[in-house]
Structure 1
Amino acid sequence: MTDAPRLDRQVCFALYSASRAATAVYRPLLDELGLTYPQYLVMLVLWEEDPRGVKELGEELGLDSGTLSPLLKRLEALGLVERRRSGEDERRVAIHLTAAGRNLSSGATAIPQRLADAAGLSPAELEQLRTTLGRLTAALHDSR
């Protein structure tokens, strides 16, 4: 049965394994901040630009409202964000960082470097990997 697909040759398994390993490294770092990995991703987007619309957040993170809404509710319960309806359009909800949410970013500044150190890759290698994964993601989205 030499023609059978092999696990160690599958790109999907390499991506899955790398994702699980990276999340395992992130977990204790994010525990220090009181965040889960998906919550951290939401906060990263908001630290880049605050406020953001719920729809905009979902598009940027590739999450549907059924996944994003519970994340936002939990972040709001933690006192890190506030959901506010638009005065111009009641259907539009904007997510605003609270002071605590803004302040949390200072505790997160070392996380990318700590992941890089754990990976044992140079900054150039990590950037090349990120670029390659971005191209792969875009191509796979386009192929659907």
Structure 2
Amino acid sequence: MTSASELTDHTGYWMRMVSNAVSHEFARKVSGEDVTVAEWSFMRALYDCEPTPPSVLAERMGMTKGAISKLGERLVAKGLVERAESQQDKRAHSLSLTTAGRAKIPILAALADANDAEFFGVLTKEEHEMLDRILRILAERRELKATPVD
């Protein structure tokens, strides 16, 4: 029988364990505000630069236009995002946050901040900074650009 490495021998195993724990707790928190993590990411992307055509948002978030359309439809139905037709091209439109959507951003950001504080609060300041630095280096060197939404 050939030997096989243990699951716990892999950095990816530990990253997935931590990521799952952080993500699941955050998903639980934002569900209390009637949004998903993907919807929060979408809304946050609109917060600083609206109104935005879906194609631009898809590019910025590293998502397909289809995924952006589905998220946009869900958020329009919830009254958090609105769609406006282009005056120049009636086939084109842009997306922006409604007043209710804009008001929800600071609430969701506070939940994200609290989730990070709760989870990463067991690290020293130096450890947390080192972890952030390493993860950013990995993302940059691997050219990871897609906004994590799952």
Q: TM-score normalised by the shorter chain: which range applies?
A: 0.7 to 0.9
> In structure 2, what is the equivalent of residue 132 of structure 1?
134
Matched, 1:28 2:28: yes
> In structure 2, what is the equivalent of residue 83 of structure 1?
83
User: Matches of residues 100-115 of structure 1 in structure 2 within 5 Å?
Assistant: 100-115=100-115
> In structure 2, what is the equivalent of residue 6 of structure 1?
6
**Residues 26 and 112 of structure 2 are in contact (CA less than 8 Å); yes or no, is this contact kept in structure 1?**
no
Separation (CA, whole Å) in 2 of partners of 1:53 and 1:93: 6
**Residues 22 and 115 of structure 2 are in contact (CA less than 8 Å); yes or no, is this contact kept in structure 1?**
yes
Q: Percent identity?
A: 28
Distance 1:38 1:109, change over 3 A: closer
Structure 2 runs not aligned, ≥5 long? 145-150
Q: Which has the higher contact order (CA 8 A, sep 6+)?
A: 2
TM-score by length of 1: 0.81
Shift of 1:127: 4.5
- 1:78-136 residue CA offsets vs partner (Å, 9 max, x unmatched): 00001223223445431111111111123224223311222223555444433432321
> In structure 2, what is the equivalent of residue 18 of structure 1?
18
Instruction: Give the partner amino acid of 2:44.
Output: L
- When structure 1 is superposed on structure 2, of 47-56 and 32-41 the one drifting more is 47-56
Shift of 1:23: 1.4
Higher helix share: 1
Separation (CA, whole Å) in 1 of partners of 2:71 and 2:10: 32
Structure 1 runs not aligned, ≥5 long? none
- 1:19-53 residue CA offsets vs partner (Å, 9 max, x unmatched): 21111111232022111010011111112222222
Shift of 1:12: 2.5
Instruction: Give the partner amino acid of 1:136.
Output: L
Distance 1:127 1:35, change over 3 A: farther
Separation (CA, whole Å) in 1 of partners of 2:11 and 2:139: 12
TM-score by length of 2: 0.79
Matched, 1:72 2:46: no
Distance 1:48 1:125, change over 3 A: farther
RMSD of aligned Cα (Å):
2.4
Secondary structure in 1 matching 2:94? strand
- When structure 1 is superposed on structure 2, of 73-82 and 111-120 the one drifting more is 111-120
